[in-house]
Amino acid sequence: MIEPVCPELQKFYDIFDSVDQTKVSEFKDFLEANAVNFNLFKEGNFIERSFPFDVIPRIIPKSEFDELEAGIIQRVKALNAFLNDIYNDQKIVKDGVVPREYVDSAKAFLPEFMGVNPPKGVRTHISGIDLVKDAVSGKWVILEDNLRVPSGVSYPLTIRRAFRHTYPEFFESMKISKIKHYGDELKAAMDYVNTGGLNVVLTPGRYNSAYYEHSYLAKITGATLALGDDLIVENDEVYLCAYNGEKLRVGAIYRRLDDDFLDPEAFEPDSLIGVKGITKAYRAGNVAIMNSIGNGVADDKGIYYFVPEMVKYYLNEEPILSNAPTYLPYYEKDREYVLANIDKLVIKDVAEAGGYGVLFGNRLSPEKRAEIIEMILAEPRRWIAQEVIEFYDLPCMMEGEILPRKADLRAYVIYGEKVTVSMGGLTRYAMEEGNYLVNSSQGGGFKDTWVVEL
Amino acid sequence: MINGAAISVNTAQHLYWFGRYVQRVQTMLVEMLECYDHVIDRDFEYGNKFFEKLGIQAEYKNGLDFLNVGVYGAHQGSIESIIKMARENAIETRHLLDERGFATLNKIYNHLSEGRNRAAISPTHLEEIVDNCSLILGIFSSELDRTRAYQLIRFGQQIERFDLILRLYGEIEMVTADIDVVNNIARQLNRHYRPINVTTSDIPKFLVFLNGVVDRVIHNKGCVPGSSQSQSS
């Protein structure tokens, strides 16, 4: 079902009708000329791919976004508190709010980092919160929290500038919230936790799917872009090897690689993209790592179930935003429901991400269904089940026609001295009609997101 | 701290090679257009002599075919492959490059890739690429807040210029006259750099010597012991 046209979107259409629509092709030219890519690996081949873009932005009325913003900030604060707790006293476990089993068996939980506290107590420096708008209730629903290395923010930031150049009419006639401060806010967050030294964006390199974003973020924050072998650790301090042979101390690292690859001494020994000994510097409090090591325990799909409870537990507030109705086969009652209703549910493997490991019960063959049931019974902790949310389609211009496509929203949150939500975000849409998987890694496209006040 | 002032070894090398490759494209195209003029009605072999100087083995049927071989030929020195390498280095360093400069280079690359299987390339089109290379290199000189990145690009340009002068014309005097330009850039880039003088007239020896100059500016063997500095961001 397509989202009803709000007055703000109507205003967009009214202006769009009056502008030169042939200029829409300029966006594609711009993205290609600037190699604004989200690259893919397919069958072992590296494919440079422009991120497909749709000119019709997702428009969110300011009053609606204000509520969304409050809910997202609340959620991220609770998640940060959860991480601080879980790597220290684990009060939430002791108080029975989150089962120990769920923490201990979370793949990304790193007990060896118990008692290691990051500068200023910030762990979720940059979060990407995925939401959809439920077509039945008309409410926003949280689908996922991304607290490790959420990507995508560079695309709306890049395209917004192109939009302002190509169609200034919209910005002259509509009150569209600005997002260009993102770079300053990210820099301020880096400075806030910096232990004395350079700010660095650590990238796995040019063949990473989001390399465009890594270089973009280095550019807008003025941070130094570095590969793993550009950094060395001596006496538990991290240094950048500058081209002239000098060692420059590093105080904050916005790492764009997963924990597993961050330090071959502490994690995956074969990692060629990490920095040997970096975790020692982190443990010693000599460098801020953004996002913190071990955050994956909080965005585990099983832990997601408990986030509304975390909001109540840590903040003593009622959650402003809801989760999608979720069942944990770990609990007997939920397991019975899941097994009896598997045809109506979405089954997710908690170990997977990026749209992988998502199974729609109604599309499973009898053999596959039996196989999944067996797997759920064997490893209940590994699975969650959710009611299928009929989230809104958005209008997308495809080959000259406006067609409905499923779309979500990734909101970006920066946690520095204060917690801020970027007044826009990345709207991702599926390329095929009826497809619920909008992830970039599944071939989806993107839209800009405009927060508009009439 | 100036934006991008702390430049890693990897990034510095990419900036340097970016400067070299863009300069190489520009100079090679200018030389190829000059050759083309000879090949069509003065000296058909002129193009072969040009290729020989660069160690390229290639054959052509006429003036336009000469250009086509120079741009798309299956050899390391083809313009297409040099543009590709320039672009690779630009992708690695785009956080320090001017966006218009990057986009201009990328457009040249896209255009050449798309045109590979189309009709023969035209001299006018190649002249446009020469102009665009000037534009790319010129844009960076106006970037006031990225001084070191610009100097590394300029450093690469100058070294490439010397390299091509020696390979194409064999005139070491043209290089010695300009050696202070390299010394000045190198000193700005690295305060430990000691200026060099040209004391040899042996071209292969001098080319090796030039590579040594690069190693003295961009340290690719790790950090200097005891050279740590604490800098606030």
pLDDT at B139 over 90: no
Nearest-Cα residue of chain B relative to residue A34: B103
Q: For chain B, what is the domain count?
A: 1
For range A24-44, the mean pLDDT: 88
pLDDT at A407: 96
For range A155-178, the mean pLDDT: 96
Amino acid identity, position B114: E
Nearest-Cα residue of chain B relative to residue A201: B95
In a domain, residue B87? The reply is yes
CB contact under 8 A, B11 and A225: yes
Tokens of A329: 């086969």
Residue among A198, A219, A223 whose CB faces B231 most closely:
A198
pLDDT at A43 over 90: no
pLDDT at B230: 44
Q: Would you kindly state where each structural domain of chain A is located, as residue ranges? A: 7-195+287-318+390-453, 196-286, 325-387
pLDDT at B1 over 70: no
Instruction: Establish if B95 touches chain A: CB-CB under 8 angstroms.
Output: yes
Residue among A219, A224, A252 whose CB faces B8 most closely:
A224
Structure confidence by residue, pLDDT tens digits, A365-390? 999 999 999 999 999 999 999 999 99
CB contact under 8 A, B12 and A243: yes
**pTM score over 0.90:** yes
Residue among A198, A206, A246 whose CB faces B224 most closely:
A246
CB contact under 8 A, B8 and A251: no
pLDDT at B2 over 60: no
Burial (0-12, 13-18, 19+ Cβ within 10 Å), B44 = middle
CB contact under 8 A, A34 and B233: no
Query: N- to C-terminal Cα distance for chain B?
Result: 6
Between A70-84, A433-447, B83-97, the lowest mean confidence (pLDDT) is in A433-447
Domain interval for residue B45: 9-217
Instruction: Establish if B147 touches chain A: CB-CB under 8 angstroms.
Output: no
User: Distance from B221 to chain A by nearest Cα, in Å?
Assistant: 8
CB contact under 8 A, A198 and B1: yes
Instruction: Establish if B117 touches chain A: CB-CB under 8 angstroms.
Output: no
User: Distance from B182 to chain A by nearest Cα, in Å?
Assistant: 16
Structure confidence by residue, pLDDT tens digits, A256-279? 999 999 999 999 999 999 999 999
CB contact under 8 A, B219 and A244: yes
Which residues, including other chains, have CB under 8 Å from residue B188's CB and lie 6 or more apart? B151
pLDDT at A87 over 60: yes
In a domain, residue B3? The reply is no
Q: What is the mean pLDDT of chain B?
A: 87
CB contact under 8 A, B233 and A239: no
User: Distance from B223 to chain A by nearest Cα, in Å?
Assistant: 5
Between A89-93, A261-265, B201-205, the lowest mean confidence (pLDDT) is in B201-205
Nearest-Cα residue of chain A relative to residue B104: A33
In a domain, residue B68? The reply is yes
Query: Same CATH topology for A196-286 and A325-387?
Result: no
For range A135-158, the mean pLDDT: 96
In a domain, residue B23? The reply is yes
A-chain CB neighbours of B231 within 8 Å are 197-198, 248-249
What is d(CA A169, CA A215) in angstroms, rounded to the nearest whole number? 30
Look at residues B172, B177, B106 and name the one whose alpha carbon lies nearest to residue B136: B106
pLDDT at A247: 94
pLDDT-based confidence at residue B119 (cuts at 50, 70, 90)? low
- Report the percentage of chain B scoring pLDDT > 90: 62
A-chain CB neighbours of B13 within 8 Å are 243
pLDDT at A315: 98
The CATH number of the structural domain formed by A325-387 is 3.30.1490.270
Structure confidence by residue, pLDDT tens digits, A314-324? 999 999 999 99
Residue B43 has a CB neighbour count (10 Å cut-off) of 13
Counted residue by residue, chain B has a size of 233
pLDDT at B143: 60
User: Distance from A277 to chain B by nearest Cα, in Å?
Assistant: 16
- Best of A190, A213, A214, A246 to substitute, by most chain B Cβ atoms within 10 angstroms, is A246
> Does the interface predicted TM-score (ipTM) exceed 0.85?
yes
pLDDT at B231: 41
Cα dihedral angle (B181, B184, B185, B189), rounded to 10 degrees?
A: 170
Instruction: Establish if A28 touches chain B: CB-CB under 8 angstroms.
Output: no
User: Distance from A285 to chain B by nearest Cα, in Å?
Assistant: 16
pLDDT at B3: 42
User: Distance from B76 to chain A by nearest Cα, in Å?
Assistant: 22
pLDDT at B232: 38
User: Distance from A212 to chain B by nearest Cα, in Å?
Assistant: 8
pLDDT-based confidence at residue B5 (cuts at 50, 70, 90)? low
What is d(CA A208, CA A195) in angstroms, rounded to the nearest whole number? 28
pLDDT at B146 over 80: no
In a domain, residue B4? The reply is no
Q: What is the 3-state secondary structure (H, E, C) of chain B?
A: CCCCCCCEHHHHHHHHHHHHHHHHHHHHHHHHHHHHHHHHHCCCCHHHHHHHHCCCCCCCCCHHHHHHHHHHCCCCCCHHHHHHHHHHHHHHHHHHCCHHHHHHHHHHHHHHHHHCCCCCCCHHHHHHHHHHHHHHHHHHHCCHHHHHHHHHHHHHHHHHHHHHHHHHHCCHHHHHCCHHHHHHHHHHHCCCCCCCCCCCCCHHHHHHHHHHHHHHHCCCCCCCCCCEECCCC
CB contact under 8 A, A248 and B231: yes
Q: What is the mean pLDDT of chain A?
A: 95
B-chain CB neighbours of A229 within 8 Å are 10
In a domain, residue B227? The reply is no
Structure confidence by residue, pLDDT tens digits, A72-84? 999 999 999 999 9
User: Distance from B227 to chain A by nearest Cα, in Å?
Assistant: 5
Instruction: Establish if A209 touches chain B: CB-CB under 8 angstroms.
Output: no
Structure confidence by residue, pLDDT tens digits, A102-129? 999 998 999 999 999 999 999 999 999 9
Write out the E strands in A305-400.
Answer: 322-323, 326-327, 345-349, 358-360, 383-387, 393-398
Tokens of A18: 């009056």
User: Distance from A44 to chain B by nearest Cα, in Å?
Assistant: 20
Instruction: Establish if A188 touches chain B: CB-CB under 8 angstroms.
Output: no
CB contact under 8 A, A242 and B9: yes
**Is A305 strand, coil or helix?**
coil
For range A162-174, the mean pLDDT: 96
CB contact under 8 A, A240 and B8: yes
For range A19-26, the mean pLDDT: 94
**Is A205 strand, coil or helix?**
coil
Query: By the 8 A CB rule, do A215 and A179 touch?
Result: no
**Is A366 strand, coil or helix?**
helix
Topology (CATH level 3) of domain A196-286: Rossmann fold (3.40.50)
Cα dihedral angle (B87, B93, B96, B99), rounded to 10 degrees?
A: 30
pLDDT at B120: 67
pLDDT-based confidence at residue B142 (cuts at 50, 70, 90)? low
pLDDT-based confidence at residue A399 (cuts at 50, 70, 90)? confident
Amino acid identity, position B177: A
User: Which of residues 231 through 260 in chain A touch B, CB cutoff 8 A?
Assistant: 232, 234, 239-249, 251-252
CB contact under 8 A, B7 and A243: yes
What is d(CA B87, CA A401) in angstroms, rounded to the nearest whole number? 35
For range A322-327, the mean pLDDT: 96
